[in-house]
Structure 1
Amino acid sequence: MASEKKRKPSRSAQRRAARQLTLQALYQWQISGNSMHQVEAHIRAALPDDSLEEHEDISQVLKIADLAYFHEMAQAIPEQLDELDEGFASLLDRRTEELDPIELALLRLGSYEMIHRIDVPYRVVINEAVELAKRFGGTDSHKYINGILDKLAQKFRSVEVRAKRS
């Protein structure tokens, strides 16, 4: 019906969109070497009428994303890179430099939320990263991301993990 009001996306949908934008920003930042401010500005500049196919998805995501959450993560993750990488490096089966760029971006995103956003349940952090890995990563990267973030949860959210598992 034409008279139907558009419903505001749920908070979880807004956060999911912000995570996707953050993943895309981290990937671009890692590959391009541009500053995160430049990358974030480029992503935010994607307009709904942009004819480039790569921007069509971003513009749709931008419409529903929690942009404050996206901005927080896009700026904080590069600033805290050493801390985040050290948090999961001992859990890897290879060196950080050998990770696929999508896997590395997802581990950094998941690590940031796991360590600094205790308002987000650890299971949500893991699930969201796994879903992004299924969509953007290699064939089995979601399994790898799941395993590393599960171990990271035990390391940084041990009380929460024990409470859920008992």
Structure 2
Amino acid sequence: MSDSNAPSSQRAPRPPRQSRTGTTSTGARKAGSKSGRSRAREFALQALYQHLVGGNDAAAIDLFTRDLAGFHKADAAHYDALLHGCITTAQYMDELIAPQLDRKMSEISPIEHAVMWIGVYEFQHCQDVPWRVVINECIELAKEFGGTDGHKYVNGVLGSLAPQLRAAEVAADKSDKGGKADPVS
């Protein structure tokens, strides 16, 4: 028998209501509020991790990743571009990233490394994605999959590359703000 008819003083206390915002307790976006491109970035990150850690072939990684639960909700074209584009241009992207680092590339977490690849690739090849969105998406990936403060490191590296890789767009943002660029958080 239910105690719903019992006086309120005798009912068991209700658990606290769950937040209905689009973020989890760690600040990462909830799955239901993610776009197809955000999901594509997540699957690309997982695939690039396999490449960095296991040295697996892009085609084999691609077949495996497409079978993962939830892939059908991802933007498959964006995933393809990220996975194959990052692997194909990995050496070039590492040459861009390395001068921004305070340590050797081999000491960077594979998750952060892959997230930075995604950011650099999108800066260069996805002009329809604003530079601030690229950085914010990469911060979200690092928060969700990376180490405790990995997102801060990714933010710093990509924030320093943005003026180089998206010079006109960053300059236009600075001029709109009276010469002051807001830090990306």
TM-score range, shorter chain: 0.7 to 0.9
**Equivalent in the alignment of 1:130:** 139
2:37 is aligned with 1:15 = yes
Alpha-carbon distance, 1:108 to partner = 0.7
Structure 2 regions of 5+ residues with no counterpart? 1-33, 176-185
**Equivalent in the alignment of 2:50:** 28
2: distance between equivalents of 1:93 and 1:15? 30
2: distance between equivalents of 1:85 and 1:119? 23
SS at the partner of 1:90? helix
Alpha-carbon distance, 1:94 to partner = 0.9
The letter of the residue matching 1:22 is A
Matched residue count: 142
1: distance between equivalents of 2:51 and 2:97? 20
SS at the partner of 2:103? coil
* TM-score relative to the length of structure 2: 0.74
2:138 is aligned with 1:116 = no
**Equivalent in the alignment of 1:74:** 83
**Equivalent in the alignment of 2:167:** 158
2:158 is aligned with 1:149 = yes
1:83 to 85, 92, 96: 92
2:61 is aligned with 1:39 = yes
Q: Which structure would you say has the larger Rg?
A: 2
2: distance between equivalents of 1:89 and 1:129? 17
Name the Cα RMSD after superposition: 1.1
Alpha-carbon distance, 1:135 to partner = 0.4
SS at the partner of 2:35? helix
Alpha-carbon distance, 1:119 to partner = 1.7
Bigger share in helix: 1
**Displacement over 3 Å in runs of 4+:** none
2: distance between equivalents of 1:131 and 1:108? 14
Alpha-carbon distance, 1:165 to partner = 2.1
2: distance between equivalents of 1:33 and 1:144? 24
1:107 to 116, 121, 142: 116
Aligned-pair identity in percent equals: 43
2: distance between equivalents of 1:32 and 1:82? 17
* TM-score relative to the length of structure 1: 0.82
Alpha-carbon distance, 1:76 to partner = 1.2
1: distance between equivalents of 2:47 and 2:156? 23
Alpha-carbon distance, 1:17 to partner = 0.5
Structure 1 regions of 5+ residues with no counterpart? 1-11, 47-58
More moved, 82-91 vs 129-138: 82-91
